[in-house]
Amino acid sequence: MSRKAKRNGGDDIKMSDIARHAGVSPMTVSRALRAPSTVSEKMRRKVDAAVREFGYLPNRIAGSLSSKRSNVVGLIVPSIQNSLYANMIQAISDVLRANGFHLMIANSGHRLDDEEALVSALLAQRVCGLVLHNTTHTKGVRDLVAKTGVPVIETGNLPAEPLDMAVSYSNFEAARAMTAHLGRLGYRKIGFVTLPLRDNDRSEERRRGYFAALKELGLPADPSLVLEAPGGFSEGGDALVRLVQTHPGLDAAFFAGDVLAVGALFECQRRGWAVPGRVAIASFDDLDLLRHAVPTVTTLRIPRHEIGRRSAELLVNRLLGASPERIRIDVGFEIVQREST
Amino acid sequence: MSRKAKRNGGDDIKMSDIARHAGVSPMTVSRALRAPSTVSEKMRRKVDAAVREFGYLPNRIAGSLSSKRSNVVGLIVPSIQNSLYANMIQAISDVLRANGFHLMIANSGHRLDDEEALVSALLAQRVCGLVLHNTTHTKGVRDLVAKTGVPVIETGNLPAEPLDMAVSYSNFEAARAMTAHLGRLGYRKIGFVTLPLRDNDRSEERRRGYFAALKELGLPADPSLVLEAPGGFSEGGDALVRLVQTHPGLDAAFFAGDVLAVGALFECQRRGWAVPGRVAIASFDDLDLLRHAVPTVTTLRIPRHEIGRRSAELLVNRLLGASPERIRIDVGFEIVQREST
DNA sequence: TTATAGGATGGTAGCGATACCAAGAGAACG
DNA sequence: CGTTCTCTTGGTATCGCTACCATCCTATAA
């Protein structure tokens, strides 16, 4: 009673069966299915008829082995449970599907070692391309990528030296721009709440951007204005409360994660703190929610969908024959000024 | 310059190479990797050394073809862009990974024809199991599943007659329970806002549940109290406003989608309508957001994570040898009474 | 000691498709 | 009318691994 027994529900029609029943050679069946234009009308009709009659499903595993070509792309995200990745995944999935590719998804849980294990596993499955939502990798990952030569897209941040291709925005620039924006609006005591920094280059970059902007604004860099919080609504609220308590003069808070920002906003509503009267709130990433909350929340719009789309397009082009070259695309970002600041 | 050329970054070490370098037969390598206990300590060490030296990655495509066994499970969801599926996907992904399986994800965009095309495609990839977030299928899907005999999990709703295995809650019962709950709280004019009904048995079931509850409560079934809205915050707000305008006596609104409910809540905040003073709001699905919004929102807690986990567990058990049997698991739901009602 | 079982290895034959080359059938040409 | 060229079609040899069976070796029993 192996898995095998289960898979064969008694059918398992193969190409040679179709060929026999259609009165043609297996090669003709193969061609009729993959490149109909190379086969005469008559043959194609015979094959199509037999395929329909038996409900034949070509075995892509065999096809891939034989052609040394696969149509599955691997994607590794830190967490599936995050709507921010969802937009990107959707876009990738759509572009791939339109080009006959499939998507294998795995999540690394923000752990670099797990990323390496997953890259290995996906490569063993012989994926034809890889999308990594991460730009710092273990040596193992770099070696594997180099050795196998699979096309790789890195995203989530703009690496100085991409493994292969990168499509992203700069977390550093985005955080800097938002902080500068707050400064321009007249805020002088700006708190910063970051997601965990460990194993996460994105968070680290954002924090650097925040400090860079403070410097440019001529504001003091006060480390006690920076709080690290795990994701979640409550954590955002808690962080804001702590900041306000330790810094009575705080006039704005920049949250490097949209859920944190919304959590903070709710906390303000609960406590009756006017936003932005008592404290201004700025967020990172344009969650739909932020446009509808009361007040609406100032944030950075990151073109997540575009990132996904362009990543998949680059990958597909390469798989379809484009010559390999290091590409680094900066999709940029946009500050969306709303009521909360 | 085929894709092939790209894939061979110059390496492509195969099992026989490892065997040669380790001074053993290919079969021993195969066994050392897949069932180390069937190989002597000495052999295993030789093999491991060679594997590490060359950075050998077994070719699972070849393995699958040869063994007629695959370790990839296919998942089809209506849309990836929905945090509600995200919880389930995460759970599935985790369980599968812990058992050495991988996940191929596709989205049907709520179109049954697309679902069929995807089932075909995934079956052609020879996935060893299928999870469908949908319980009404085309004949084509039913035939394919029957013919190939792949284990299938249906979820998203409790089908009367599952294709194979089903893990879900009852949309009908859930909607009925919430409507009854509102009735018990004393609300008498309860609006209902549903997601699009077309090709979506879940929405349809929820609506039936709403009407069933009204009947039990002895309340009139007024079709004009039911509004169909595409998903989205704005649509939720719009729907509520329309309901209130056409039914001045409306005292509660039940939204069959969490985003709609939150949109309505924001609209109330904007208009200064007290919730639940002016109108009570109830939601479907326990988005984290609802627990933190102001006011917190009464809703139905659907154990999405558990659904994913149990689905994957059932699948894995079957793949590991459990005998096939129709299984239908009702994971239930829970009413979470909060401030909004 | 010889017989016998059982565990560890190796050899061989596929898995179901595709690549590549050879062969046959017409069409176009001088 | 034969030759060359192009378009279709078919045969054969893999692709890289695993199933299955044969073989061998060592340990235990008789």
**In this structure, how many other beta carbons lie within 10 angstroms of the beta carbon of residue A41?**
8
Q: Is B327 part of the contact surface with chain A (CB cutoff 8 Å)?
A: no
- Is the pLDDT at A202 greater than 80? The verdict is yes
Question: Which residue has the least CA–C1' distance to nucleotide D7?
Answer: A38
- What's the CA A341/C1' D7 distance, rounded, in angstroms? 71
Nucleotides of C under 7 A from a protein CB: 8-12, 14-20
Of the pLDDT bands very low, low, confident and very high (cuts 50, 70, 90), residue A322 is confident
Nucleotides of D under 7 A from a protein CB: 8-12, 14-20
Cα–Cα distance between A156 and A84 in angstroms, integer? 11
Residue of B7, B65, B67 lying closest to A62 (CB–CB): B65
Question: Which residue has the least CA–C1' distance to nucleotide C12?
Answer: B27
Of the pLDDT bands very low, low, confident and very high (cuts 50, 70, 90), residue A3 is very low
**Percentage of chain A exceeding pLDDT 90:** 90
pLDDT at B9: 45
- Is the pLDDT at B5 greater than 50? The verdict is no
pLDDT at B3: 37
Of the pLDDT bands very low, low, confident and very high (cuts 50, 70, 90), residue B112 is very high
Is A266 close to B292, i.e. CB distance below 8 A? yes
Of the pLDDT bands very low, low, confident and very high (cuts 50, 70, 90), residue B10 is very low
Q: Which of B102, B115, B275, B314 to mutate to test the interface with A (most CBs of A within 10 A)?
A: B102
Of the pLDDT bands very low, low, confident and very high (cuts 50, 70, 90), residue B12 is confident
Angle, helices B15-22 vs B26-34, to 10°: value is 100
Each residue's pLDDT tens digit, A48-76: 999 999 999 999 999 999 999 999 999 99
pLDDT at B122: 98
Cα–Cα distance between A162 and A155 in angstroms, integer? 10
Q: Is B58 part of the contact surface with chain A (CB cutoff 8 Å)?
A: yes
- Is the pLDDT at A1 greater than 80? The verdict is no
Is B93 close to A81, i.e. CB distance below 8 A? no
Is B125 close to A234, i.e. CB distance below 8 A? no
Each residue's pLDDT tens digit, B199-216: 889 999 999 999 999 999
Q: Is A142 part of the contact surface with chain B (CB cutoff 8 Å)?
A: no
pLDDT at B11: 66
Each residue's pLDDT tens digit, A156-200: 999 999 999 999 999 999 999 999 999 999 999 999 999 999 888
Residue of B83, B86, B123 lying closest to A57 (CB–CB): B123
Task: Read off the pLDDT of each residue in B143-170 and give the average, rounded to a whole number.
Answer: 96
Each residue's pLDDT tens digit, B17-45: 999 999 999 999 999 999 999 999 999 99
**Of all nucleotides in the shown strands, which has a C1' nearest the CA of A39?**
D8
Task: Read off the pLDDT of each residue in A277-300 and give the average, rounded to a whole number.
Answer: 95
- Which domains does chain B carry? 3-58 (1.10.260.40), 70-169+305-332 (3.40.50.2300), 171-301 (3.40.50.2300)
Each residue's pLDDT tens digit, A86-115: 999 999 999 999 999 999 999 999 999 999
Residues of A in contact with B106 (CB under 8 A): 93, 97, 102-103
Question: Which residue has the least CA–C1' distance to nucleotide C15?
Answer: B66
Within 153-212 of A, beta carbons closer than 8 Å to B belong to: none
Q: What is the mean pLDDT of chain B?
A: 94
Closest Cα in chain A to B318: A3
- Is the pLDDT at B176 greater than 90? The verdict is yes
- What's the CA B56/C1' C9 distance, rounded, in angstroms? 22
Length of chain B: 341
- Report the relative pairing of strands A334-336 and A299-301 from DSSP bridges: antiparallel
